[in-house]
Amino acid sequence: MADQTISSERFAVLVEQAGLKLTPEQFAELHDGYRFVQRMQRVVRRARDRAAEPAHIFVHPRAERP
Amino acid sequence: MDPTQLTIAEASRAIADGSLSPVALTEAYLDRIAALDGELHSYVLVLRDQAIDAARSLAGRPRQGALHGIPIGLKDIYKTRGIRTTAGSRRYLDHTPDQDAETWVRLRGAGAILLGKQETHEFAIGGPDFTLPFAPARNPWNTAHYPAGSSSGTAVAVAAGLCAAGMGSDTGGSIRGPAAYCGIVGLKPTYGRVSRRGVFPLSYTLDHCGPLTRTVEDCAIMMAALAGYDPQDPASADVPVPDYRVALTSRLDGIRIGVIRHFHEHDAVAAFGPDSAPSAAYTAAFDAACHTLEALGARLVDVKLSPLIDYLDANRLIMLAEAYALHEQDFRERPQDFGHHMFARIALGAFLTAADYVEAMRQRRELCVEFARALDGIDVMVSANSTGPAPPIDAIPTYSTFERASYTGPYNLTGSPALSVPIGFEGGLPLAFQIAGKPFDEAGVMRVGHAFEQATDYHRQRPPIAAPLPGRS
């Protein structure tokens, strides 16, 4: 479940910033879909220890095997 | 008899003892495609002449292994040199690659024959979309129903007997979802186990390539050719590959299995509402499947993880951000080249911030650690797959990807191997569960799936359309 919490005017600013040129139908559909973006943001944005990093490790390719 | 009724293991034995030729098997599949695919739409390109030539070229050559002379299909995001590869999009409608996907190179090297390229959701995310150049594939159990996606054509073709096996891709469930709805087996291997080189990407850190087959044993045969280090895939892992078929047994004595019940029994409705509730038939089938595993000697223990939505929305946010980055320029400059669903879904990635992506990746790391710890002392986990039968194909909302519960995405997030296996039927349509394991333990996952198959007959049931053609039985 995800509730709509952004006005058309504010959403138009986001679309402009993204550089997308939308038809009225596309604008309405993406505006409706934006509630899912907001839900995802709520789910992943939470208090974490600063040391909780997404631990990237580097693996270099070996030489081609025979 | 009709050789297309045989599993890969059975056909391979027949080819080895000379009672079946690769040419006869290939022609039988091509005849079925010609007769039935007008209704199923599983292929976007059939390579009749090339397939027969390839089968003939195997005559007199030493048998290369269990895939020698076995006809397969590739989802149309796998690049094939000199053969059109569209990614299901107008954007690449005339695209003919000058390279082969590494997985196809390996399968061909093992003796597999390519029947054709199979229908995919646009760029493995936009479907079922009736605005695309190719009609969406239809569920072979009931063509009014959805086969799931995005590896739709491959799953449909395998289930309907239009190829012996095929290759799909899986970023949030695109192998295991279609396997579930079509009543076949689908494996998403460990991230890094199977090369993704030469496959159109959707989301770099979540994409996996893997096989769709009729049985777990066939899956093991495919994996024997597919698994292994590819120095030219940046995410490939240099990890030894075991003999997968040796690991297949009919008993599970001493195996410890974690059961993740709360994902489907509680979390789905709590986060996504009553539309995501599992059907009563599904819950009963899942419980019966767990009892079967116990009867095979496994010890089951309930496992509690973070809520399903924590896994799902981290997976979805990462997918959106990475996919949008891939397509941003085209979305700005040539949006008319994309189908409705692809554009509506992936354009949402434009509204995420860099901080959103980093937070999702931090959450991903936490959940990977949680899942690894939960597997301590446990061999494999079982959890739900799609928790009801396939819905009608014309009833899939644009944002179905985001508004309903899904049970496959958590294992893309963790990179774990995960296998979908049929566990029953509801209203004549298949049901399935997942078996997930430790990194690079595809053998352990397939062992449990194979033992389950030996104790049940769901994988032997075929849709009516898979029956032999008249005069072939």
pLDDT in tens, B25-51: 999 999 999 999 999 999 999 999 999
Residue B430 and residue B283: Cα distance in Å, rounded?
Answer: 13
- CA B91, B94, B100 angle in degrees (round to 5)? 100
Among A42, A57, A40, A66, smallest CA distance to B324 is for A40
pLDDT of B206 above 60: yes
With beta carbons less than 8 A apart as the criterion, state whether B410 and B267 touch: no
**Band of pLDDT at residue B471, cut at 50, 70 and 90:** confident
- Partners of B364 on chain A (C-beta within 8 Å) are 54
Q: If you search the block for the tokens 């003796």, which residue do you land on?
A: B111
Residue B259 and residue A9: Cα distance in Å, rounded?
Answer: 47
Please name the helix (run of DSSP H) or strand (run of DSSP E) that holds residue B409, with its range, or none: helix B409-414
Q: What is the least distance, in Å, from the CA of A64 to any CA of chain B?
A: 7
Out of B347, B360, B402, the one facing A44 most closely (by C-beta) is: B360
Out of B350, B360, B364, the one facing A18 most closely (by C-beta) is: B350
pLDDT of residue A63: 55
Q: How large is the average pLDDT for residues B430-458? A: 98
- CA B241, B196, B103 angle in degrees (round to 5)? 65
**Band of pLDDT at residue B63, cut at 50, 70 and 90:** confident
B339-365 per-position pLDDT tens digit: 999 999 999 999 999 999 999 999 999
pLDDT of residue B268: 98
Q: What is the least distance, in Å, from the CA of B293 to any CA of chain A?
A: 34
Q: How large is the average pLDDT for residues B118-145? A: 97
pLDDT of B240 above 70: yes
pLDDT of residue B62: 86
pLDDT of residue B59: 81
**Band of pLDDT at residue A66, cut at 50, 70 and 90:** very low
Which amino acid is present at B376? D
pLDDT of residue A61: 57
Q: How large is the average pLDDT for residues B386-401? A: 96
Among B440, B404, B28, smallest CA distance to B244 is for B440
Chain B nearest-CA residue for A18: B350
Q: What is the least distance, in Å, from the CA of B381 to any CA of chain A?
A: 24
Q: How large is the average pLDDT for residues B195-219? A: 98
pLDDT of residue B167: 99
Q: Please tell me if residue B229 touches chain A, with a CB cutoff of 8 Å.
A: yes
Q: How large is the average pLDDT for residues B116-136? A: 97
pLDDT of residue B173: 98
Residue A15, classed as helix, strand or coil, is helix
| Contacting B residues, span 242-271, partner chain A, CB-CB under 8 Å | 271
pLDDT of B81 above 60: yes
Among B97, B130, B42, smallest CA distance to B342 is for B130
> Looking at this predicted complex, what is its ipTM?
0.95
B9-25 per-position pLDDT tens digit: 999 999 999 999 999 99
Q: Please tell me if residue A41 touches chain B, with a CB cutoff of 8 Å.
A: yes
pLDDT of A1 above 80: no
Among B38, B43, B29, smallest CA distance to B117 is for B43
B85-103 per-position pLDDT tens digit: 999 999 999 999 999 999 9
Mean pLDDT taken over chain B: 97
- Partners of A45 on chain B (C-beta within 8 Å) are 356, 359
Residue B31 burial (C-beta neighbours within 10 Å; 0-12, 13-18, 19+): middle
